[in-house]
Amino acid sequence: MHKTNLHLTNSSPVDVPFQKNYVPTWAEDHIHYIDGGREVQLYLDKSTGTGFQTRGSYLFGHFSMHMKLVAGDSAGTVTAFYLSSQNSEHDEIDFEFLGNRTGEPYILQTNVFSGGKGDREQRIYLWFDPTKDYHSYSVLWNLYMIAFFVDDTPIRVFKNSKDLGVRYPFNQPMKLYSSLWNADDWATRGGREKTDWSRAPFVASYRGFHVDGCEASAEARYCATQGARWWDQPEFQDLDGEQYRRLAWVRKTHTIYNYCDDRDRYPTMSPECHRDRDVDV
């Protein structure tokens, strides 16, 4: 319809050392720096996990991370990469990688919170082994949509459906976070598979710390550069045809849970599901 593929050619991610944009959130001694901070490893052992966050807050933008997940028996562990605002009615955009027993595929769970409301989980099996090599996980967030990408493949879209009565994250700046922690009370098979601490420490690796957003104070209610940045332009208001074909492939062959299909939890389908092409794609 209106654009080339979202390979973000006019915004090629610029890799910068970790320390330029990020600071440890807790357990700094469990973060290991390699090559002057161009690569970072998070360690989880029985005493603690760890995490990091951006120095600044952002209102819209493109955010990506190259990650290599915990290898081997990772059951009970969760590696997360997400944006989150700072108040009670918070907004949040989540990638959560749920560990599994050796040989079983990783599950990638995504979720979107708006105005404090979440419960929009979707889960997919990745089509590659995310522990072998680095892969890119990214979020494009503007006034029109939130799009989740694995490498160049869109795996989810959450559009601005304010006109349908669905709240959308548009006025609360968010920080970008990542963390590795023990969640064996729920993460693997509903908590039935526990973390095997004999395999600790568990290690998740990162590089390519890319942030291209409208930086704002936590009090800002709008982005002063609205309309001026590449991700605000008309060609990024929606995915294109090829991207929707890729999304349909993910839905058909790799999706294992979609809140839009869950009539037990939600007897009435949420109004955004059709617009987001989460059904009938």
Task: List own/partner pairs for 145-149 with CB under 8 A and 24 or more apart.
Answer: 145/237, 145/238, 146/93, 146/112, 147/6, 147/239, 148/93, 148/95, 148/110, 149/6, 149/64
Do 67 and 139 meet the contact criterion of CB atoms below 8 Å apart? no
- The β-bridge partners of 139 are 63, 148
H/E stretch holding 249 reads helix 241-253
215 part of the active site: no
Q: Which of 50, 97, 32 is nearest to 69 (CA)?
A: 97
Of 96, 121, 215, 219, which one is the catalytic site residue?
96
How far, in Å, CA of 212 to CA of 52, rounded? 18
Do 211 and 58 meet the contact criterion of CB atoms below 8 Å apart? yes
193 part of the active site: no
Check the CA dihedral 117-123-128-129 and report its sign: positive
Do 247 and 154 meet the contact criterion of CB atoms below 8 Å apart? yes
How far, in Å, CA of 181 to CA of 214, rounded? 29
Of 39, 92, 215, 272, which one is the catalytic site residue?
92
Catalytic residues: 92, 96
